[in-house]
Structure 1
Amino acid sequence: MLTDELRAEVARLKAERDAVVLAHYYVPPEVQELADHVGDSFALAKLAATLTCRTLVFAGVSFMAESAKLLSPEKTVLMPEPTADCPMAHMVRRETVDAARERYGDELAVACYVNSTVEVKSWSDVCVTSSNAVKIVRALPQVNVLFVPDRHLGSFVAEQVPEKNVILNDGFCPIHQDISADEVRALKEAHPGAPVLAHPECGPEAMALADFAGSTSQIIEVAVAGEALDYIILTVDGVRGELERRCGGTGKRFHFPPTRPVCPDMARITVERLVACLREGTGAVDLPPAAVAEGARRTLTRMLELGAR
């Protein structure tokens, strides 16, 4: 439980460093409580580029902090847990991208899910998030689109944009892919009529049982606006805190698979590590080599431009 003394210390340290704390929905709820802004990857990427503070503290995994540094290179970007990573971010080979470019030439665009390393972004033409991937792929002038790294989000995009030839890469989020369709069916039997809200990183068997598929923030908005009292949520359990805060007093209940979907990297971002990061200035994120930074920044900037249309 967060004490008044701890909250006061965090406020003092933020003021001393001119720092803003950004937290992803998947980090522990007590870390979210101490953050200035909580959101999904897209919302935090947009926000980080507009803030005027000197320091950004990113309570999330490495690709999120890297993106913030690319969009705000003049700021100090700190990670409370520098080793927090995303396995899917590394599930792309350069040979896959090069082979697709050789085959399709200028008729190919490489759309890179923001859950990727800065190097992978530099190989690509545009970044996307789960909230804007369909919109951005649809807006691309090329018919052929190599979607990296997540094959499940890529499949979801392909279904929504059938006029495009979406080429899939063999990457995935281990947490979402492991959500069991049998457990989802059991939840549907236990809560008849409860809408199933799924993140498109889920595997096809679980996705086939969903009533709605969208980003973490979109799942939250659907649950907040919905009239049902029970909801089955197919994404990382960390979003429970925001759902309960937004729906407090409504009687709404949120049911996650019994094999609890927890991101172990996000779970390592604790209050203690956040405070230590603010106190000591540890976990600084550096810019990559100039050529990599330039390419990756271009894909992020194009995402923001296309996403705003």
Structure 2
Amino acid sequence: MEKETLARLKKEKDAVILAHYYVDGAVQEIADHVGDSFTLAKIATGIDAKVIVMAGVEFMGETVKILNPEKTVYLPDPDADCPMAHMVDVEAIKEMREKYDDLAVVSYVNSTAEVKAHSDYCLTSSNAAKVVSAIDAKNIFFIPDGNLGHNTEGAFPDKHFINNNGCCPVHDSLTADMVRALKKEHPDAAVFCHPECKAEVLELADYTGSTKGILSAVGELNKDKNIILTEEGIGWELNRLYPDKEFIFPDMICAGMKMVTVDKIIHVLETGDNEVLLDADLIEKAKVPLDRMLAIASK
């Protein structure tokens, strides 16, 4: 019944549903496109539909709206949020610009529209190294995720990273001892890790990369058992791609992502509630670093 209702509403409203890998599997199943932040950003720039439902957290809805100012964008739940996105503010950016002349403000896509509007470049965990390699500035103010900044800077000894004191609470909660315990319990398993984790955790992984990267790497390493060190929502796609493999997750759940449900998607399409609305000037300024990211990543 839900699928029939969605099919009718999508046709009536000329709508497309985008979903992040971390939302519930039932939402991923009904989405038109599922991906990580970078994949969804790319897809969003080429959608013909008039309406886009972003099944994810607030910054994702903002990003889709910034890239599609002429389209109607809905968030299934306006309270679904990413704590990391609020761990830096514009004042911190202004302070760094005053302190360093040769500075590039590099904002992880997990950031507010306002922060993006005051940034020079955006990036995701999929393209962080590629974006930084295209920046001429000596000093990099990496916001808001300090872990991703720290885990990226090692490849750039010629640059000076100032990593913001922010993090994804879900990934940052994972410790090396927790991973060692999992490895001891499953000695034959390969370990896959997201770079939002602490450096001490990455050191224990066989592969580190974005959610999309992890999905590919599982097939490339081709182990029967796999320890996945990221939000458990990715398990839906992993099990779909590799039904014969076993996946072990620590307790890593993003509360914001799990607020998104199929019922809420139907609700916004029926009622027009929870539209993402941003000031035109803010959109214009926030689009600049996103466009730079997309241009660099496409090369």
Do both proteins adopt the same fold according to a TM-score greater than 0.5, normalized to the shorter chain? yes
Question: 2:220 pairs with 217, 221, 225, which one?
Answer: 225
1:82 is displaced (CA, Å) by 1.1
Distance, in Å, in 1 between the alignment partners of 2:143 and 2:162 is: 9
**Residue 295, structure 1, aligned to residue 290, structure 2:** no
Paired residues of 2:69 and 2:283 also in contact (CA < 8 A) = no
State the one-letter code of the partner of 2:126: S
Who is 2:297 aligned against?
307
Alpha-carbon deviation of 1:96?
A: 2.3
- Structure 1 SS opposite 2:236: helix
> In the alignment, is residue 254 of structure 1 matched against residue 247 of structure 2?
yes
1:60 to 53, 56, 59: 56
In the alignment, which residue of structure 2 is the partner of 1:268?
A: 259
The letter for the 2-side match of 1:25 is Y
**Separation of aligned partners in 2, 1:253 and 1:118:** 38
1:274 aligned partner, one-letter code: I
2:87 aligns with 91
TM-score, normalization by structure 1? 0.94
Amino acid at match of 2:33: H
> In 1, are the aligned partners of 2:190 and 2:206 still within 8 Å (CA)?
yes
For the 8 Å contact 1:138–1:164, the answer to whether it is kept is no
Which stretch shifts more, 11-20 or 96-105? 96-105
- Structure 1: stretches of 5+ with no match in the other structure: none
Q: Deviations over 1:167-201 (max 9, x none)?
A: 11101110100123222111111221322111111
Distance (Å, rounded) in 2 between the aligned partners of 1:77 and 1:308: 25
Check whether the contact 1:70–1:297 (CA below 8 A) recurs between aligned residues.
yes
Match of 2:269 in 1: 278
Deviations 1:34-78 (A, max 9, x none): 100000000001101101000000000011110111111111001
Q: CA RMSD in A?
A: 1.1
Structure 2 gap ranges (5+): none
Secondary structure in 2 aligned to 1:109? strand
Select the residue among 91, 104, 107 that pairs with 1:109.
104
2 CA distance for matches of 1:304 and 1:68? 13
Residues 186-245 of structure 1: CA deviation (Å, up to 9, x unaligned):
111122132211111112332221121111110111012222111111100000000000
- Map residues 145-294 of structure 1 onto 2, 5 A cutoff: 145-248=140-243, 251-257=244-250, 260-288=251-279, 290-294=280-284
Runs of 4+ displaced beyond 4 Å: none
Give the whole-Å Cα distance in 2 for the aligned partners of 1:114 and 1:271: 25
Which residue matches 1:26?
Answer: 22
Aligned residue-pair number = 299
